[in-house]
């Protein structure tokens, strides 16, 4: 029954409107509702449960810690779980990849991490403006929302969103030299645009419609920032934690961002956690200059450290790349053949089927039909034209293919 929610909950609720049932439990890549119906999950908590719902290994670590009366709330005080999480992230992920990052713990959401990164960049460079790419999504608090380009989200602010210049994404204007454009507007004293403290970017615009920036462009942005004394901030909130096929999404380009923001699956099994990674020389914060009451969620630290062990022991990065090929091959063979105007984009285990070439409204009908047939997936991109495929990285092959079959049949029905 959904009456309670409809009567008392704010109308701001969104995902539940697409999936109008009451869920009770979940395991791996399956969610179950109170009617006993099971749904394959191609939504993955918007990327917060990459290692599956109630992952046995991670969950046991959390339950054992909780049952032992370990401290739960500690602000930024020293604790054993925080030490173990820091050691796991630094020694098993960051250092083996040749990076040198310090870890800042912010409030527990991705937008909190973005806000902290913006403050840090502006503090270091002494400039207010930042560059972000059209099509991006970086969060819903005012600073992060100033970066986010979607007008629906921006219009909800009720305030002027400032200190950000939006740059056309490389896919938007064929033949446009985006790097040259950025260089021109910071060199021209009549451009009306202030030199930025940072360029903020997703390497894959997820909510922007699964737009994968190629390696050369990522390298060129890095070089642009170096040449002009600008910091490079990579938002790895949704596409990080192995989603792209490597733990950090920028590894494929061989670049090192100055600052990285992470949330979602950094908390292991959906536990709230957000972090900012920044180069050691950028650690210019004064004590307490940025804080948050829930920046020290000990259960998140326990789950996050366990997730790192799990992903290494189970070769999750390679498995993600392998399963990504299953998706790519299936869609190219079984779905794109349904209509030549369909377009597929993606990497790792995040893919999108774009209906803009036919009718953007079709994507909404597809996800509704998928839900009827016990598959949960969402839309993304301009006008919501893209059906987004984002299952847990640990989904079994046969269940992955079953979910893709449901999408195929839904598209056949809608078209």
Mean pLDDT of 184-204: 97
| pLDDT (tens digit per residue) in 140-149 | 999 999 999 9
Considering the chain, what percentage of its residues have pLDDT values greater than 90?
99
**Burial of 325: CB neighbours in 10 Å, binned 0-12, 13-18, 19+:** exposed
Q: Residue 264: left if φ>0, alpha if ψ -120 to 50, beta else—which one?
A: left
| pLDDT (tens digit per residue) in 64-86 | 999 999 999 999 999 999 999 99
H or E element in which residue 30 lies: strand 30-33
Higher pLDDT, 296 or 217: 217
* Residue 22 to residue 147: CA distance in whole angstroms: 34
Query: In Å, what is the CA distance from 170 to each residue of 56, 99, 179, 203, 213?
Result: 42, 27, 9, 12, 8
Contact between 43 and 378 under an 8 Å Cβ cutoff? The reply is: yes
Statement: residue 346 has pLDDT above 90? yes
| pLDDT (tens digit per residue) in 237-261 | 999 999 999 999 999 999 999 999 9
**Buried-exposed string 53-85: b where 16+ CB fall within 10 A, e elsewhere:** bebebbbebbeebeeeebeeebeeeebebbebb
Contact between 172 and 135 under an 8 Å Cβ cutoff? The reply is: yes
Where does 84-192 show beta strands of DSSP type E? 101-105, 130-133, 164-167
Domains of the chain: 3-54+315-414 (3.90.1150.10), 59-313 (3.40.640.10)
DSSP per residue over 222-256, as a string?
HHHHHHTT-EEEEE-TTTTTTTTSSSSTTGGGT--
pLDDT score of 296: 79
The structure's pTM equals 0.97
């Amino acid at each position: 029954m959904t009456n309670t929610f409809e009567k008392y909950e704010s109308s701001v609720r969104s995902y539940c409107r697409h999936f109008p049932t009451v869920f009770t439990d979940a395991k791996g890549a399956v969610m179950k509702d109170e009617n006993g119906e099971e749904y394959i999950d191609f939504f993955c908590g918007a990327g917060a449960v990459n290692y599956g719902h109630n992952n046995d290994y991670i969950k046991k670590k959390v339950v054992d810690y909780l049952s032992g009366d370990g401290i739960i709330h500690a602000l930024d005080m020293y604790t054993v779980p925080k030490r173990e999480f820091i050691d796991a992230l630094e020694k098993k992920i960051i250092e083996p990849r040749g990076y040198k990052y310090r870890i800042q713990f912010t409030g527990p959401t991705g937008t909190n991490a973005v806000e902290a990164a913006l403050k840090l960049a502006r503090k270091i460079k002494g400039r207010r403006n930042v560059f972000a790419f059209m099509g991006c999504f970086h969060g819903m608090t005012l600073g992060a929302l100033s970066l986010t380009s979607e007008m629906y989200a921006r219009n909800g602010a009720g305030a002027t969103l400032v200190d950000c210049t939006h740059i056309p994404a490389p896919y938007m204007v064929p033949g446009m030299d985006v790097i040259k454009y950025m260089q021109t507007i910071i060199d021209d004293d009549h451009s009306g645009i202030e030199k930025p403290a940072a360029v903020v970017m997703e390497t894959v615009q997820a909510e922007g419609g699964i737009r994968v920036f190629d390696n050369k462009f990522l390298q060129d942005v890095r070089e642009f920032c170096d040449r002009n004394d600008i910091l490079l901030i990579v938002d790895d909130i949704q596409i990080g934690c192995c989603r792209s096929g490597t733990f950090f999404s920028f590894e494929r380009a061989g670049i090192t961002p100055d600052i990285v923001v992470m949330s979602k699956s950094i908390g292991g099994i959906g536990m709230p956690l957000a972090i900012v990674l920044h180069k050691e020389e950028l650690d210019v914060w004064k004590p307490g200059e940025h804080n948050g009451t829930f920046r020290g969620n000990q259960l998140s630290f326990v789950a996050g450290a366990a997730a790192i062990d799990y992903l290494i022991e189970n070769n999750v990065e390679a498995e993600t790349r392998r399963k990504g090929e299953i998706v790519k091959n299936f869609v190219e063979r079984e779905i794109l053949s349904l209509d030549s105007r369909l377009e597929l984009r993606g990497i790792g285990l995040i893919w999108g089927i774009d209906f803009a070439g036919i009718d953007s409204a079709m994507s909404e009908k597809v996800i509704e039909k998928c839900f009827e047939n016990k598959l949960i997936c969402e839309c993304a991109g301009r006008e919501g034209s893209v059906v987004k495929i984002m299952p847990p990285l640990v989904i079994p092959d046969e269940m992955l293919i079953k979910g893709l079959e449901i999408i195929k049949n839904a598209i056949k029905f809608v078209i």
